[in-house]
Chain A
Amino acid sequence: AQSVSQHNHHVILSEAASLELGCNYSYGGTVNLFWYVQYPGQHLQLLLKYFSGDPLVKGIKGFEAEFIKSKFSFNLRKPSVQWSDTAEYFCAVNPLSGGYNKLIFGAGTRLAVHP
């Protein structure tokens, strides 16, 4: 079955530290890839997405992600986190297997940034 794995369930960082959140998926075909963020008390919001082209994708608020096809990975990075980045981050994959688009989510990573 298709699945998405996020390696870290909880991450705690100090402000200005660098961030990398891992995401791996199990699907051999073509995929679209997404990172969503959920700030405390708010709805899921799109952070960035990859459809094709340059595998290094830049999103909002200084986040970026790199698609490495050979590793089935789409890791999220930020060089210097802020307290306001405290949130839960979800990786999602849309396998392009025909029919309709469907998002398969990872279980999420809770990020806490301390001032």
Chain B
Amino acid sequence: DAMVIQNPRYQVTQFGKPVTLSCSQTLNHNVMYWYQQKSSQAPKLLFHYYDKDFNNEADTPDNFQSRRPNTSFCFLDIRSPGLGDAAMYLCATSRLRTGSSYEQYFGPGTRLTVT
């Protein structure tokens, strides 16, 4: 089945130690998104890629970076994780980023713990 896959599902890192979260998709969608969801809060968009075009949200901290080496894969890099970065990180895709049939498909998320 076509899907959005995130690895690992659980990640533990140390304060200040760089960490990379991975997302892959078999949907062949043009757009890939990264969201941060803290406990009991709404998912918050960090950035997205439209093909190779990177779009950062205005309030996303510089500590968060992303790479998209090809259509299928997208990575979230946290350069120096702080305790406040502990959260669920959700990857999503959509075929397009405009249009009336726009819809996002989500992966299962990676729960990041910072010790």
Contact = CB atoms under 8 A, between A and B. Distances in A.
Interface residues of A, number: 24
| Interface secondary structure of B, over-half rule | loop
A101 B108 contact: no
Q: Interface size for chain B: under 10, 10 to 19, 20 to 34, or 35 or more residues?
A: 20 to 34
Interface stretch (B11-19, B68-76, B79-87, B94-102): B94-102
Nearest to B44: A105
Nearest to B101: A51
Nearest to A51: B100
A44 B31 CA distance: 17
Interface in A66-115: 90, 94, 100-108
A9 B40 contact: yes
A46 interface: yes
B26 interface: no
Contacts of B40: 9, 107-108
B34 interface: no
Nearest to B94: A101
Given A44-B106, A94-B102, A105-B43, 8 more contacts: A9-B40, A44-B90, A46-B103, A51-B100, A100-B98, A101-B102, A103-B45, A108-B42
